[in-house]
Chains A and B, each alone.
Chain A
Amino acid sequence: MIAARALEKRYGAKRALRPVDLDVERGGFVVVTGANGSGKTTLLRLVAGLAAPTGGELEVDAERGGLGFLGHEPLVYRDLTAVENLDLYGRLYRVPERRERVGMLLERFGLWEARNDRAGSYSRGMLQRLALCRTLLHDPELLVLDEPFTALDSAGAELLDRLLEEVAGTRTILLSTHDPTRVAPLATGGLALA
């Protein structure tokens, strides 16, 4: 589903990602590790189509509507409530039975009680939960998750563990983390960036 050959990213003279090869089969779960500044986020942004490579080749066999991206920013509007944010994205992604899906995700991620609060009033952990709801809203076939456990408390992290267990094998997952042991039992491959 993802094939990269000598994929590279530079910003002027600065190299953000050294040439890297990557293959992720459909249904695969590849964990990307590496020190700070090794290019994990850059690689995931390239795969998501949020940045353009400056070298090498990249093929991603998923349409824009079939990709769920979780980055460092929650990508939600701080002056909209959780429901309004998800409703907007649900419309843009043409999610069938949008309201039911939004309600189900908010409940699952423990945000139902705070559903009508503005996202700007959320804690960092709640924002990460909301970002996960946004990422999963349209039931994407390819999940690109950049350090998804960041800011989650133990309950949130366990929730994410269960979710990854559920979707592993049926969805293609590219996940970056500093704690590969957490997802090691699910992973079908790994990529260590230098």
Chain B
Amino acid sequence: MSYAADVVALARKDLRLELRARDTLPAMALFVVSTLVVFHFALPAGADELAAQGLLWVALVFTALLGLARAWAPERESGALEGLVLAPCDRSAIWLGKALSVLVFLTAIEVVALPAFAQFFSPVGWETVAGVALANIGICTVGTLLAAMAAASRTRELVLPLLFLPLAIPLVVGGVGASVSEEPGRFLAFLGLYDALFAILCWASFEYVVSE
């Protein structure tokens, strides 16, 4: 129970920080909409829906990357991560709280991005929505851990995409597959498996990321 309370307190802190500073969400929203506009004009007229679905996932992954790059910024600016690490709570709660707040940000952005995609390209089916929802979990669990690793590096802007993008490939494969396949269930199950596997791995390994 206290573990859940710690997670909620930490996630609520991140939401409060974002509501107050508005550092991340507006940038992510602007980025995803402008990316879709660019794709709209870049895609040749008459291009098929499959290409458009691929572009949606490119836009979502890079928008998530933008949010992840800022995820640990408040902790980095004032050394607050050390304050959290010193606290007697389970250190994985720090990761889970952060992943939850990133999930909220990403979901909020997709509330804007999916209707924008439908406006510029083609309607969004339930398969795509389900794929996006499942991929969000994978993006947030893996991305938050990798962002914490990158935050300790001087070259964090370079390190995070190099670490994150290879691990996001299965999510793109699963998401695009769920969106365009005639059997979306297989791809959704794949995304669910990815989420479960990496959530456990990230939960278990965060302790080592924040320990020297």
A50 touches B86 (CB 8 A): yes
Out of A51, A79, A119, name the residue touching B21 (CB < 8 Å). A79
Interface residues of A in 48-86 (CB under 8 A from B): 48-52, 63-65, 67, 69, 71, 73-80, 84
Which residues of chain B are near A50, meaning CB under 8 Å?
82, 85-86, 212
Which single residue of chain A is at the shortest CB-CB distance from B211?
A52
Q: At the interface, yes or no: B111 with Cβ under 8 Å from chain A? A: no
Q: Interface with A: B1-9, B31-39, B123-131, which one?
A: B1-9
Among B9, B78, B79, find the residue whose CB has the most chain A CB atoms closer than 10 A: B78
Which residues of chain B are near A48, meaning CB under 8 Å?
86
Q: At the interface, yes or no: B26 with Cβ under 8 Å from chain A? A: no
A78 touches B77 (CB 8 A): yes
Please give the number of chain A residues whose Cβ is less than 8 angstroms from any Cβ of chain B in the complex. 29
Q: How far is it, in angstroms, between the C-alpha of A67 and the C-alpha of B201 when the chains are bound?
A: 29
Out of A74, A80, A92, name the residue touching B79 (CB < 8 Å). A74
Closest chain B CB from A158 CB (angstroms): 26
Q: At the interface, yes or no: A88 with Cβ under 8 Å from chain B? A: yes
Q: How far is it, in angstroms, between the C-alpha of A50 and the C-alpha of B6 when the chains are bound?
A: 21
Q: At the interface, yes or no: B88 with Cβ under 8 Å from chain A? A: yes
B78 touches A92 (CB 8 A): no
B78 touches A73 (CB 8 A): yes
- Contact (A67, B86) CB under 8 Å given A50-B212, A77-B13, A92-B9: yes
Which residues of chain A are near B212, meaning CB under 8 Å?
50-52
Q: How far is it, in angstroms, between the C-alpha of A73 and the C-alpha of B74 when the chains are bound?
A: 13
Q: At the interface, yes or no: B17 with Cβ under 8 Å from chain A? A: yes
Q: Which residue numbers of A lie inside 8 Å of B, CB to CB?
A: 48-52, 63-65, 67, 69, 71, 73-80, 84, 88-89, 91-94, 118-119, 134
A selection of 22 A-B contacts at a CB cut-off of 8 Å is A52-B212, A64-B86, A65-B87, A69-B86, A71-B82, A74-B78, A75-B80, A75-B82, A75-B86, A76-B78, A76-B83, A77-B17, A78-B74, A79-B20, A79-B74, A84-B13, A88-B9, A89-B83, A92-B10, A92-B88, A92-B89, A134-B83
